[in-house]
């Protein structure tokens, strides 16, 4: 009834545990791998998943469209390698997909974002619901833009139980992700001819810091809440520093 699809790029350290958690829901698990060089496909196969090689896009949205098209089941559940299914969530999903006529054609799933060992309950990090359960016949398309959402016919619901998202192991991993994703984001902004100036950097940094730390009370999560709020402000600013470079470097 359900196919779990997982996009990977050098996720050998994460993929086995992700697949193990996905088996709480189904045995039909497909990993779509973007030319990993660390043995991710072999680890995934050993863990019991089917592996399909896909082009290197640098971000997951184009792969998710391919994944849904490749899924055998009428329902598709999307996981990232750093996310984990729980038994409570698997039970809730199974109750839905086994209904003769489910009330919705897609569902958002809350995410419990974990930084190190700290669950970030504030700072805008919970419930952080994402569209992750899709009735395949209702799927239309997934735009190739980074951070895009799928086009799906019918109406959308939201599940109660969250998946786990181990989204930062340490600060070094945070910075590495920023280098990759903000370069992509800045390229898209450059193509859209987005304007940038010196005051943009300050506006983005302090605006995001206020939003995460004060408006959404990120400080309530202790030191990890402070670090994450500062990091998000840094990440937002880096995007526009890259954009400035792309706009003016050759002038």
* CATH 3.90.550.10 residue window(s) in the chain: 2-167
| Distance, CA of 178 to CA of 98 (rounded, Å) | 40
From the candidate CATH numbers 3.40.50.2300, 3.90.550.10, 3.40.50.20, 3.40.50.720, the one assigned to the domain spanning 2-167: 3.90.550.10
List, for residues 33-46, the tens digit of each pLDDT value.
Answer: 999 999 999 999 99
| Distance, CA of 144 to CA of 150 (rounded, Å) | 10
List, for residues 225-234, the tens digit of each pLDDT value.
Answer: 999 999 999 9
66 phi and psi, to 5 degrees?
A: -60, -40
> What does the pLDDT profile of the chain (251 residues) look like in tens digits?
899 999 999 999 999 999 999 999 999 999 999 999 999 999 999 999 999 999 998 889 999 999 999 999 899 999 999 999 999 999 999 999 999 899 999 999 999 999 989 999 999 999 999 999 999 999 999 998 888 999 999 999 999 999 999 987 677 777 777 887 888 889 888 888 999 999 999 999 999 999 999 999 999 999 999 999 999 999 999 999 999 999 987 55
User: Is residue 233 within 8 Å of 208, Cβ to Cβ?
Assistant: yes
Task: Please give the pLDDT value at position 229.
Answer: 96
| Distance, CA of 121 to CA of 124 (rounded, Å) | 8
Query: What burial class does residue 33 get, using C-beta atoms within 10 Å of its C-beta: 0-12 exposed, 13-18 middle, 19+ buried?
Result: buried
- Rounded to whole angstroms, the maximal C-alpha distance in the chain is 62
Query: What burial class does residue 134 get, using C-beta atoms within 10 Å of its C-beta: 0-12 exposed, 13-18 middle, 19+ buried?
Result: buried
Distances (CA, A) of 10 to 35, 36, 42, 192, 199: 8, 5, 11, 30, 37
Task: Please give the pLDDT value at position 22.
Answer: 98
Residue 85 has which token pair?
Answer: 């299914």
Residue 234 has which token pair?
Answer: 């840094």
Q: Provide DSSP, 23-38.
A: TTT-S-EEEEE---SS
């Amino acid at each position: 009834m359900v196919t779990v699809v997982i996009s990977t790029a050098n996720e050998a350290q994460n993929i086995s545990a992700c697949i193990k958690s996905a088996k709480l829901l189904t045995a039909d698990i497909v990993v779509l791998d973007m030319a990993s060089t660390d043995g991710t496909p072999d680890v995934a196969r050993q863990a019991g998943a089917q592996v399909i090689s896909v082009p290197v896009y640098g971000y997951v949205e184009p792969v998710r469209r391919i994944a849904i098209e490749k899924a055998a089941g009428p329902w598709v559940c999307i996981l990232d390698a750093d996310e984990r299914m729980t038994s409570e969530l698997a039970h809730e999903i199974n109750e839905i997909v086994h209904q003769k006529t489910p009330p919705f054609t897609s569902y958002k799933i809350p995410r419990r974002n974990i930084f190190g060992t700290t669950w970030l309950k504030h700072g805008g990090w919970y419930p952080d619901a994402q569209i992750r359960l899709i009735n395949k016949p209702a799927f239309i398309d997934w735009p190739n833009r980074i951070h895009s959402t799928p086009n799906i016919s019918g109406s959308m619901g939201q599940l109660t139980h969250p998946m786990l998202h181990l989204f930062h192991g340490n600060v070094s991993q945070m910075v590495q992700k920023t280098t990759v994703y903000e370069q992509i984001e800045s390229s898209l902004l450059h193509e859209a001819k987005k304007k940038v100036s010196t005051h943009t950097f300050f506006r983005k940094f302090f605006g995001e810091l206020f939003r995460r730390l004060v408006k959404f009370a990120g400080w309530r999560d202790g030191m990890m809440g402070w670090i994450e709020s500062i990091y998000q402000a840094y990440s937002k600013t880096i995007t526009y520093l890259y954009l400035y470079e792309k706009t003016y470097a050759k002038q």
